[in-house]
Structure 1
């Protein structure tokens, strides 16, 4: 977001209209002054009607300007959402695949916090507070002692504001961090609700959440206690200062005949207008701190994302060539290496099977190949170009990916197959036919328009996997990567998958799939064996199988 543009077109006009409104807010004070000094003294009804009419006009104009200022802030809110929300969601989704964890999962919530502040009273009171010097000048011209009372009140309230900042900032920051941790735990519990209910883990889950939530409550209580004390003291100071202004005004009038009752009443109103924004700022200090923290996180997130994402020149559509050159990947937080110095290459149209024991790095290899994870060392190339030079939104349309854990979206079957884009009927049906889904979909009540619920809850595991496969091959991608694609399939589903693989091979699609099923290995041209995160063997299927058989025989002889 362009800060200078936002400031120039929204904040500056709002501040200007706030100045005009604060000038019109003096109208009631001038009205009271004139009422006591002119109308009552002269008993002139004409003066009363004239002053009343002028006051009405001033208040109507002020109300119109208030509406304009509110409209500007609403437009600022909408502009901020339009400029930032899609970008933040995109970056959040990109960061969500990181094995290191994603610290920016609440970027949209932070944006909502800032937007709420913009359309609430907080921003209005902050913009009204700087006009305090104008009220001070007016009180000085009334009498220096009136100014002195306001200065004392202002100093006391600013001191309370500083105390509020000092006493609540750290507890609030810790509370917000703890609350995000507790919220993430609840989100995880909802995703694993089936396991929790099936295995009777509710009590343990509640106990774990309670320990996290208790810390949130303790920190919030600590901050709220100090905030409540300071808020109460602030109200006391405001009331006593405003009352003292009347007492001081009366004292001045007793010794100065030129100081009238109208000036006392006008001074009281000015005191209220001057101290009101300060009281609101102090009582709403928690909201201001939360908004400031949310803005700081957003600013840091956007700056980091902009630095990490340079402009990438658009490359021609890939043909399907893939190469890994000395790729190493691990989790920095734990120092664990998942993939170590892996190198291999495929030409367009190759079919590769990746095998190996559990935790050998097969799924990690798949995530690296689709760009979900970034290698720490080495290079992954698509058609000779570094994978990092391919923007995901452009390369993604040429890649099909079926992970082990199938996640579908609330919507229709057609929308899920079409990758949430506007469904192309011919392409959706073609993908469903290849995946062996077409007849099954037609038997459903609403066919391709059947709503599958959040996460595909109305479907079986096998149906979700086959729809995920149809989504992967939608649009005839040049590269297809499947991780255990037969895990939830029955015999008919496996047959449909084998047939689909044969069709894709004839179409020249570069296909990579991870499996433990020997039936699928028979249909590949090349084989890659992973062992403890390293490449143990790679080459034509027959050669690799011969090497594996030879190693097995040697092991038996040695035993």
Structure 2
């Protein structure tokens, strides 16, 4: 038997709310018991008051029924309020955990959509704290209502049982028939939407070359496929709903007809006939609610499974992780790294050491593994072999929240976020004006920012149209150097910079080195070599050469000269004709 501590993290988190759900169950019991109030009132009204013609009895029964109606309404309101409170508490308990786990998953597999986890949490919370839970809590009372019907007359009870079985069969059939079309419709809609959004992001490149006209048919094909899938799903759902409505109306009429027949035969009173019809409707109401809530249940079950897997695969970070500022070097020891869906590794047993107060420049052709090396160095790329050490401790043993202020990172794709320029530079933490200005001055941005109407308070949304690619890259660089971090990794930081921007970059790198920081700079441009202490040359996932700058450059130059000599000999050999003579443009040169 599985113990409580062996259950999944999500199950344990939901178990916290057992007190709230117990309260909701108690209130549901009160609500469902008092729903018999209308049945009993009708019985007494037709079988007692109508015969005795006593106004006092009528008043007493009416006041008593009114009191029970008030109690039932209060219990219904209280269980809804408890569920709302439980939903807010559930969000407070799980939102931060899901937030961290979703971003950890996106780091390991960039194709993961972090927003999906929050959508799953919303769907699970809405079902658990909404009508789905109420339907599940009301359903067990159906046998009690059936028992009351059997007490009135067995025929009425069996009719209700028959209709209940038909409704349950309809629920099962509807679930099997509607899930696949709805999933297909959602997938087709998502595909059409993603295709359109992807093209809208590149509209400045599509419009000048007249590509919009050619792309429209491709989008229209996906859009029409989504509409057809939606239509099929809607038709199936409408068909199931129509059958459910037909069964409900037929049950009311057939129940009333059966009651009338029993009254004619003298086996049932008129009051019992009316009360039984109302009670039969109430008996099947929870099943009707299950029909409506079944789709939500299926969606919530899938969301629960995805969240359970997410939290299991990305456990909560250990609070005992190292939280002190890094002091020593960072090392890659036999690191092997690959990408999701790729069999061959990107990095193949890489060994590298970056010392404090040094600048390491990484060179190499495209696809050699330079960017993966940079990401592994700061611990944001999953490795399948070896380890990354910071101060001789594994990078995974450090608290990311505590280590973050001591790391600066500039990726190739610069992403500035909604907020002011100062907030972007300050990494959306508490804005330290002095450090923001210092970072902007280090990267040569201060004067440019002051020219904006609102200066450092200029929202990125307003400034985005005024920022060039180089300016955006320099703001990203200012964010990377904010707070004088101990480890700074810059991936192609001069890709969009002009001569002035590159000079500012070199000054910033030199200031970081003077402050004792470890700097790793990935680049294709030779200008950054002026600030290098160590040069690393990557080729095909291996470190082809590494060492002091001058020594590595001399080796690369000798290698290039040797390669040119071999190529010249190969060309000369290819030009030789029969007998070892060289073929010239005017014949054989002896």
Q: Same fold (TM over 0.5)?
A: yes
1:498 to 506, 517, 532: 506
Write the distance in 2 (CA, Å) between the matches of 1:87 and 1:187: 29
Q: Quick check: 1:409–1:456 contact (8 Å CA) kept in 2? A: no
Aligned residue in 1 for 2:439: 431
Correspondence for 1:133: 143
Query: Superposition RMSD on alpha carbons, in Å?
Result: 2.3
Structure 2 match to 1:302: 311
Report the equivalent of 2:291: 282
Residue 268 of structure 1 aligns with which residue? 277
Within the candidate set 476, 492, 500, 1:468 is matched to 476
Worse-matched range after superposition: 472-481 or 64-73:
64-73
Rounded Cα–Cα distance in structure 2 between residues aligned with 1:458 and 1:124 = 54
Match of 1:151 among 161, 164, 170: 161
Equivalent in 477, 487, 512 of residue 485 of structure 2: 477
CA contact (8 A) 1:318 1:382 kept: yes
Cα deviation, residue 99, structure 1: 5.0
Instruction: Point out the more displaced range, 503-512 or 239-248.
Output: 239-248
Q: Match of 1:376, SS? A: strand
Alignment of 1:515 with 2:527, yes or no, is: no
**Where in structure 2 are the equivalents of 1:96-107 lying within 5 Å?**
96-98=106-108, 101-102=111-112, 105-107=115-117
Q: How does 1:5-404 map to 2 (within 5 A)?
A: 5-98=15-108, 101-102=111-112, 105-118=115-128, 120-256=130-266, 259-306=268-315, 313-404=321-412
Moved more, 291-300 or 443-452: 291-300
Q: 1:305-363 deviations in whole A, cap 9, x for unaligned?
A: 22x85665225321251111121222341324322221121221121011112222211
Does 8-17 or 478-487 show the bigger shift? 8-17
Between the aligned partners of 2:122 and 2:496, the Cα distance in structure 1 is 40
Quote the offset at 1:504 in angstroms.
Answer: 1.1
CA contact (8 A) 2:473 2:493 kept: yes
Larger Rg: 2
Aligned length in residues: 557
Greater shift in the superposed pair: 421-430 or 478-487:
421-430
TM-score by length of 1: 0.93
Q: Cα gap change, 1:472/1:215 in structure 2, threshold over 3 Å: closer, same or farther?
A: same
2:427 paired with 1:419: yes
Q: How big is the shift at 1:381?
A: 1.3
Q: What corresponds to 1:488 in structure 2?
A: 496
Give distance in 1, aligned partners of 2:81 and 2:108.
Answer: 41
Change (3 A) 1:206 1:132: farther
TM-score (norm 2): 0.89
Q: Is the Cα–Cα contact under 8 Å of residues 104 and 314 in structure 2 kept in the other structure? A: no
Residues in 1 aligned to 2:517 and 2:200: alpha-carbon distance in whole angstroms:
38
Q: Deviations over 1:396-430 (max 9, x none)?
A: 22110011111011111111111111212222122
Provide the residue aligned with 2:7 in structure 1: none
In structure 2, the partner of 1:524 is 532
Deviation (angstroms), 1:546: 0.8
Kept after mapping to 2: 8 A contact 1:100/1:333 = no
CA distance in 2, matches of 1:380, 1:111: 34
Deviation at 1:33, TM superposition (A): 1.2
Unaligned runs of 5+ in 1: none
Q: Does 1:446 align with 2:443?
A: no
CA displacement at 1:172 relative to structure 2: 3.2
Q: CA offsets, 1:165-221, max 9 Å, x none?
A: 222233334444444444444443444343344444434544444444455444444
- Measure how far apart 1:457 and its partner are: 4.6
Cα displacement string for residues 119-153 of structure 1 (whole angstroms, at most 9, x for unaligned residues): 54333233222210110111111111110110011
- Other structure's SS at 1:476 match: coil
SS for the counterpart of 1:317 is coil
